[in-house]
Structure 1
Amino acid sequence: MLQVQEIRDNKAHYITALAKRGIDASEVFEQVLQADEDRRTTQLQLDETLAQSNTFSKEIGKLFQSGETQKANLLKEKTGQLKETSKVLGDQLNTASEKLQQLLYTIPNIPNTLVPAGTDENDNEEVFIEGEIPVLDTEALPHWELAKKYDLIDFELGVKITGAGFPVYKGKGARLQRALIAYFLDKNTAAGYTEYQVPHLVNEASGFGTGQLPDKEGQMYHVGVDDLYLIPTAEVPVTNLFRGDLLAHTELPIMCTGYTPCFRREAGSYGAHVRGLNRLHQFDKVEIVRIEHPDSSYAALDGMVEHVKGILRDLKLPYRILRLCGGDLGFTSALTYDFEVFSTAQDRWLEISSVSNFETFQANRLKLRFKDKEGKNNLVHTLNGSALALPRVLAGILENYQTPTGIKIPEVLVPYCGFDTID
């Protein structure tokens, strides 16, 4: 969430930057500044009324002590009127503050200068590509056919139990899934990330803290009786571990990782691009989260990108990195790099990770600050990334490692799986 003072100081710059997202923020900025002016004016009136009421209260006691009862009663009457006025002003202040807050919730983060202008994924910039795309047999199958052939994943059974988008992993498919989770966590902890096991449901405050609410409310599963939300990513509970904290500068950076299932009520569509593991309502993901000093957050982002590169190199999967354009940038992000793995069987790129810097956008919502060397409180920068999302990584492994006689297992996963071939 943007800060009002930042909008006031940088309005013209922010309007230009948000144009990269295809947004004309002129009107909403004017509404924000007017709402803030109304709030400040009301706050001043309330403060003056309360101060006058306190002054009268002190004078009333002195007047009674000196026997000036008539004057004291007159001031008591005025004090009563001031209390009524302060109550009205307090209600007006709450209304003005809520209006300002709701306006600020509608404004996305300011894109970094590196973010290219554009309207959708077609305008994203390819900034890196690596890995040899394998040449498959002419009889090569997409992963949903391989899953059926080798009895690895049962999509129909998932429909029976829950519905479309909730697959059941079986046998070596389940073991490969578990191996990927363990491997990703080991890679992350070896790189200095502390592992957390976190709740899979969060309260409304957590959703607002990381920006899923109100922006993505319709995409989250909501448990109405308890007013809780199933998490769309571990980013939400892990980042909220530090909500409301005031950190010492010596505590930074904070590096966290965690595995969770993820739940998303994404509207489904039809076609090969969403078949099988390509789009799910429940899937597994290992996340990395960093809490950083503002001066080092972009170096940290580069480090996260290199970390994910290392994982994909170990898996020997062909991949590329995209810098997202303004129109494809997430609501809370200032800069995002997407990783995509190439599926030879589907002849297309599959997104498997997003690595983002949110700068102070989440921290302002979370009230997450640090005390610098001079003793001043400042907002931290928050970052997160998938390391990695499992479904499309698994799809890429099944499709790219298939042979006429079976599916090979990437060498780094064999110790975790206990087998080197699926046949």
Structure 2
Amino acid sequence: MYNVSTKNTGSFLDTVSTINASFPMEISTDLSGNMSERRNVSANNSFILEVAIADALDLLVPPVLIFLGSVCNILVIAIMKSTYFHNVSTSLYISVNALVDFGSLVFVLPPHWIHVNFPWIISRGPNADIMCKVFNFVGWFTSDYGIILTVAMTIERAIAIRFPLHSVSWCTLRKAKRVILGLSIIIMLKDFHFAITSILVDENVHDRLCASDISDSTYLYFVDNVWPYLHKVFLGISFTLIILSNIIIVRSVRESDRLSMLSSNEDLPNGSSVRRVSSRGRQLAIMMISDSITIVVCTLPFAIITTMEASIELLQGTPKDRATGHILFSISLYLLYVNRCANFFLYCFSGQRFRLALMELFFSKIQRCFSNMGLTELFRRPNTDKRYTISTILNNDELKGTFTPLNISYNDNSC
């Protein structure tokens, strides 16, 4: 799906068929003691294994990522719309990021999966290149946009935790919407050339669906000498900002912890508030750091692979070299999509409020079902007790260890 050139990778199926046809003869010669051909058989076995690994990755990994990522991102969006999160600017970044990830998983990855496994299904008519212009541009855009949204979210949280008195006026929903719109325009301009130059790959290319037309010498120069470094600069600046923001968050959390220790040793009037800020900051630090590490681990390999393709023609050479390049490309590509499935699990691991909101989401559905069955009291307190809600648990340290689903007015009769 992602590529910067139209390099011919050769036909794996034809090569494998040739090897299989000659294999019995090679084994027979090997039994006669020919050491040279024994090495050839070993090399052929290794090549067949690499082709089998590449085929297994292309067949099995995308469906799992599509299903898992779609469910997880839908849950993230639903949780960000809950009572506690929907007015928080960071929640808007998370929701947009989840929506982008969901769109990429259901719109870009399925055509790639169809092509690498069932290439005869892909139409090669006169409008095939238009399809690739859309898919290739959307693929690159969603990848880069997800990175830059994480950068913006991390910077905003660093500002909020470092300057808490100004966070109310600086970190607002209105400003977050402007930042999100502005960043989308920047990424569109960066990746727009894919919407112009992308074409359907040749029939003997099996590891991706779309490539870039480099028949024009000017664009070829751009692909080989400008684009790889432009993308490196983009990733370098993004990763640097993420690291610096996390350093600010960690240092601020350590300061909060120190104040929390002082408040526990001394009877300060605002001791409870300081401890609460310290606890929230620690959770935030864990979430931001884990998100940052995941971004780097899942994004950097693909950047390296695309750079290597442009400079040393990774997928050229012998059939074995092409098989190895296919495996490396598939692993790096699917790591990008792993990152689009991982945020839900990172938030569950590091965010107590996120876990509580997730529990509320499921228990409210159970409440609704049992309310229709007349068994509501098994799952919620009486309607007169208004204290036990997720909102009060989140804002009251004394009640954080208790969970009871919200008292909800049930108008929906569906379970």
TM-score with structure 1 setting the length: 0.21
- Name the structure where helix makes up a greater proportion of residues: 2
- Name the structure where strand makes up a greater proportion of residues: 1
TM-score with structure 2 setting the length: 0.22
